[in-house]
Each structure stands twice: as structure tokens, then as C-alpha cells.
Homo-oligomer: A and B are copies of this chain.
Amino acid sequence: MNVTEKTKITPWEVTGKVDYEKIMTKFGTEPIDQKILKQLSDLTSGDIHFMLRRGIFFTHRDLGWLLNRKKAGENFYLYTGRGPSDHTHIGHLVPWVFTKWLQEKFHAKLIFQITDDEKFLFNENLDSETTHSLALDNALDIVALGFDPKLTEIMIDTDRSGLLYPQAVKIAKKITFSTVKATFGFDQSANIGMIFYTSIQAVPAMIESVRNGKNIPCLIPYGIDQDPHFRIARDVLPRLGYLKPASIMSIFIPPLSGVDGKMSSSDPNNAIFVTDSEAVVKRKINKYAFSGGRTSVEEHRKLGGDPDIDVSYQWLKIMFEPDDSKLKKIHDDYRSGALLSGEMKAILIERVNSFLKRHQEARERAKSTLQVFLDDH
């Protein structure tokens, strides 16, 4: 895979094949290597999340620095986000699950920003009532994952603009149109809300320092497509006297149609939503999940399948099979031909539906506890 001319990575669009090595070079980020994993495991009693072991979270900025400060006794906080353009799908949950692990391991406060203003400003067809309603809907999925209510503050942008806007103008004053033009590819037809928006997304990266009146390190887990925002934040925040936020970034979660690109809500058959029924999950995976298998059972038994391009396998690897030895057996059996594509899909369907059953129940319960997360912490 190469970064071809067709490859496009912005916070709002990911197309084409993606070479993660080249992205690291281009974006100037560091790999999650053995050294950083050792630093982590020193602080987590040896526990390393499978998304780290498997390269799902594959790159970072200043994570070593942050862990050194943690080791020296200084706490950090976490910040991640969600753009509420639709119901939550499986691809969104991947970084959230990882963020929850970080919260548990480091007992870290988490700011979870829900950017309803962004989705309203960037989508001609979404009105502000819809994006706000989706923000509340998506927040239920965050709560359902089991974040610590004492340590987790969900900020819906238009509900918290009294807090966010006065800080955002401080950031905005340091960012020119030239910069956002070069960073996001805006032209003169961009609306002025889009142009301003990145300063709103930067605020949570400094807000705990603002609130506490002293610098508190911040770690931001996110999908690599959000990196342009945080490159700007890292440039500006030190000029306001705050620390550069550290970050840890994940690959894109592939759509059902194939391992290239990023799962998106725009084609509902390419994503599995947290609200999908068992039957819908089964149908979507059986019908749409791109298979790395052969054209006939006989050929598959003889030549084996390719797990690297099999979306069902990739989803097991990314999210649904935490056990490395079980995953290896699935991988090897598929490669050898012992495991058929239909069987691979059946494993994934069972895992996804089992996960969603619990999630949907937790989502119902979340309706009664949501407000605790939305309150000023």
C-alpha cells in the first residue's frame, strides 16, 4: 500500500490506500515501539492493551515524556472526542474502549468532547437540532461503555460553549486563515464557522490546566485523521503558556467493504451501528463483509484464505478477540484453509452480537445516569 495521489486524509474525509509508515513520516509522529511499550507496562503492572500489541494504536507524540512525568508522580488527564453526525458505529467504539483502559490503568480524568457544532457546520444537510440530539444519543454509548462517572466529563460543545468559547478565542487569535487553509485544505468558500472550529477542538487539550491554574499534562487518543487539529493545538498551546498535549493515534477501522479506507456512517451497509439488531448484524456481515477467502470451498481448503484482507478477521483483531492465542489460531486456520470464510463470519457475528446485547442493555441504563457525566466536573 502506498500513499497515492488518491489518498486523502482530513478530519472529514479519508479515501484511498493508506501507508501508516508514510503517515508517520509525513505527520512527524513516533511509532509505538518496544521502548514505549516497556515504559507503559512499567506503569500498568505489566498489562499492555491488545490494541497496543497489535498496532491498532500505532503511533504517538510525546507519550514517553508523559509517561516519564507520570512515573515521577505527576498525573495527566485524557481527552478524546466524537463528532455526532449519526448513530455510533463499531468503528467509533475502538478508540473509546482503549481510552477506557487508559482511564482505568492511570485513574485519569477524561474530557470527552462531543462536537455537535462541528458536524452542524461541516454538513450542509444537518441542522443544529439534529446534531444536538445526536450528541445526546452518542453520549449514551460513551456512558454505556462503563467510563468512571466521577472521572469522566462529557462536553457537548453547544451546551458548554460558555466554558469553551472564551478559551477558544485565545487560541483563535494565534491561528491565521493561511494556517487552516494549508492544514485542512479550506478555500474561500469555506464558511466562517468551519474556519474558526479548530480552536474549539483545541480547548479541551488545555482546559484542565485552565481550571486548575497550573499545567496538567494531557494525553489525547484519536484516529489519525484527527491529527491536523492537534498539530495546530500543539503549535498554539505553548504560545499561551500551556503544555503541548501528548497523543496516541489509531489506524482507521475498515468498513465492511474492505480493509482500505475508514468505516463511515454515510453507507449504512458498510458500518454496524450500536443500535443494529442481531438479524441486521448477521445480514450485514454475511452479505457485505469483504472476504479474504477463495472462490470455492475446495480451493479455500487447498490454498487457504488471506486474513490480511479479510474484514471479519480484521475486526476480530481490532476489537472483538482480545485473546492473542485465540486470534492466532483463527488466523492460522484461515491461512491454512481449515477455517472457511463463512465460519470466520460466524465467529464475528457471534462476537459482535454478544457485545451489542450487553451494550444495548447498558445503553438503556445509561439514560438515567447520563446527566452525571454532562455536569461540570
Given A117-B165, A128-B166, 18 extra CB contacts under 8 A: A117-B169, A120-B170, A121-B169, A121-B173, A158-B166, A158-B169, A160-B162, A161-B161, A161-B162, A164-B165, A165-B165, A173-B193, A176-B192, A177-B187, A177-B189, A177-B190, A178-B189, A192-B196
A176-B189 in contact (CB<8A): yes
Interface residues of A in 90-131 (CB under 8 A from B): 117, 120-121, 128
- The interface of chain A, by Cβ under 8 A from chain B, is 117, 120-121, 128, 158, 160-166, 168-170, 172-178, 180-181, 186-193, 195-196, 198-199
Residues of B within 8 A of A128 (CB): 166, 169-170
User: Given A162-B161, A166-B161, A177–B172 Cβ distance below 8 Å?
Assistant: no
| Copies in the assembly, this chain | 2
User: Given A120-B169, A169-B128, A177-B186, A192–B193 Cβ distance below 8 Å?
Assistant: no
24 A-B pairs in the complex with CB atoms less than 8 angstroms apart: A120-B173, A128-B169, A158-B165, A158-B166, A160-B162, A161-B164, A161-B166, A162-B162, A162-B163, A164-B165, A168-B193, A174-B191, A176-B190, A176-B191, A176-B192, A177-B186, A177-B187, A177-B195, A178-B188, A180-B192, A181-B188, A192-B196, A192-B199, A195-B196
Residues of B within 8 A of A169 (CB): 117, 120-121, 128, 158, 193
Residue A175 contacts which of B165, B170, B191 (CB distance < 8 angstroms)? B191
**A129 → chain B closest CB, angstroms:** 11
CA distance A162 to B162 in the complex (A): 4
**A281 → chain B closest CB, angstroms:** 35
